[in-house]
Amino acid sequence: MPNEPRVHDQARQAMLTARYLLPVLPELEAFFLAVRAQVDGPLKREQPVKLGKMYPLGQCLEISLAVQQCLQTLRPDDLAPGSAAAAGYAAFAAFRKAGGVCRQVWGDLRGEFFQNAFQLGTLYLDVSNDTVTPTKPKVEILPFADARFIPVADFRHFARIAARYWQHHIYPNHVLPELAPYCPLIHVMPSGQIMVCEGTGYMVALAQAGEFVPSEAVLCDRSMPDDIFTRVRVALADTPWPQAPAPEEGRAMALRACREHRRKRWHASPQRMDAAIQTVREINRRLSAMTAPQSASRKVHQEAGSAMSNIETVQIDGKQYNLNALSDEARQQLSMVRAADQRLVELQRDLAFIQTARSAYISALTKLLPEAPK
């Protein structure tokens, strides 16, 4: 499986790790901290906010890929001579030259969340350790066997972590039956935005490796709610992607598609995999534009009526502004405003949950406490 969190050729990798890496773990950490310092600035400028969260939160993939690219172009003179980072780089380079493996992996970390990290010999290397809890160290290195980092086994496993980590509501994909064998789940974010998951190489490969049986296992579930089904159909109206006419019929069509794809041996086709991933990206761009939440006081819309062109505007405090005329700095600030709006929605939801939980705890507590003497 691509990016599977597993150590292959255990004996050889253990020998190379013991020879080149274990004696210099502090220097190795210093080296990867230096690499992280090189990528942080550009990444933060490129995407200061993701899904309402400030960098580096939620950007473990972006950081891991940037570090991977940096490692391919890094030169010894990019690091201070005689420094711990330079010593760590020398050990890393010698390890790689001797046949040591360093590859980017993705999976379930401790049953709590998804994480992108690296298998470095027999070590677990996380260069984005602060993307869930920003107070944690940026880099973590420990034996891979101790990391509790395991492959995602199937779509139910994926849905369980996604619901816990992202607070998504997850439903079987009964609306896009031809895509369902590859991506059998529809996610609704806490904000209400809808997306198809999970259009990544690993999860699509998982569906194909199981000849679409893992997809069938979740597509057999009861039909997705009518309102979610309708929202997706409306968002994808006038697009080339075939949609089911109704949820229960979509369920039958999706299951039939799994059987047909298996009969045609499309599970063995890399081209089908690539096409499915590209389709999901295009569909999610459309769903993002059509189902993303909008603040009542800062609603972005298209003003029609002009024969010349439609003008995209934003309304702030009752006044309209032309988005086409915004500077790059203004657009960045606008994205921060939108992120803040989304974060407020999330916080309000969390506050309501906490208040409800507190009331329940107090109610249970009062039943257990003895009454005070009068």
Could you tell me if 189 and 242 lie in one domain? yes
Q: Are residues 137 and 162 in the same domain?
A: no
Among 93, 119, 150, residue at a domain's last position: 150
User: Are 56 and 177 members of one domain?
Assistant: no
Question: Are residues 243 and 132 part of one domain?
Answer: no
Confidence tier at 24 by pLDDT (50, 70, 90): very high
User: 3-state secondary structure string, the chain?
Assistant: CCCCCCCCCHHHHHHHHHHHHHHHHHHHHHHHHHHHHHHHHHHHHHCCEECCEECCCCCHHHHHHHHHHHHHHCCHHHCCCCCHHHHHHHHHHHHHHCCCCEEEEEEEECCCEEEEEEEECCEEEECCCCCCCCCCCCCEEEEHHHCCEECCCCHHHHHHHHHHHHCCEEEECCCCCCCCCCCCEEEECCCCCEEEECCCHHHHHHHHHCCCHHHHHHHCCCCCCHHHHHHHHHHCCCCCCCCCCCHHHHHHHHHHHHHHHHHCCHHHCHHHHHHHHHHHHHHHHHHHHHHCCCCCCCCEEEECCCCCCCEEEEEECCEEEEHHHCCHHHHHHHHHHHHHHHHHHHHHHHHHHHHHHHHHHHHHHHHHCCCCCC
175 and 269 fall within a common domain: yes
Q: Does 173 share its domain with 285?
A: yes
Per the structure, the count of domains in the chain is 3
142 and 173 housed in the same domain: no
pLDDT, position 308: 36
Instruction: Tell me the whole-structure pTM to 2 decimals.
Output: 0.73
Averaged pLDDT score across all residues of the chain: 86
Q: Is the pLDDT of residue 144 over 80?
A: yes
Q: Note whether 20 and 94 are same-domain residues.
A: yes
Quote the pLDDT of residue 11: 96
- pLDDT tens-place string over residues 220-235: 999 889 999 999 999 9
**Domain membership flag for residue 305:** no
Q: Per-residue confidence at 57, pLDDT binned at 50, 70, 90? A: very high
**161 and 233 belong to one structural domain:** yes
The percentage of the chain sitting over the pLDDT mark of 70, rounded to a whole number, equals 80
Q: Is residue 304 part of a domain?
A: no
Residue after which a domain boundary falls, among 117, 150, 183:
150
Residue 373 domain-assigned (yes or no): no
Whether residues 25 and 138 fall in one domain: yes
Which pLDDT tens digit goes with each residue over 189-202? 998 999 998 888 99
300 located within any domain? no
Residue 3 lies in a domain: no
Is the predicted pLDDT of residue 116 greater than 90, yes or no?
yes
Task: Look at residue 210 and tell me if it is in a domain.
Answer: yes
Q: Do 38 and 86 share a domain, yes or no? A: yes
Residue 193, CA atoms < 13 Å, CB-side half-sphere: 21
- Single residue among 150, 182, 208 that ends a domain in this structure: 150
Task: Give residue 306's pLDDT band: very low, low, confident or very high (50, 70, 90).
Answer: very low
Q: What per-residue confidence (pLDDT) applies to 363?
A: 66
Does residue 302 belong to any structural domain of this protein? Answer: no
Sorting pLDDT into bands at 50, 70 and 90, what band is 365? confident
- Do 36 and 106 belong to one domain? yes
pLDDT in tens, 170-188: 999 999 999 999 999 999 9
Q: Is residue 161 part of a domain?
A: yes
- Expressed as residue numbers, the domain containing 317 is 311-368
Q: What is the pLDDT of residue 229?
A: 95
Check pLDDT > 90 for residue 69: yes
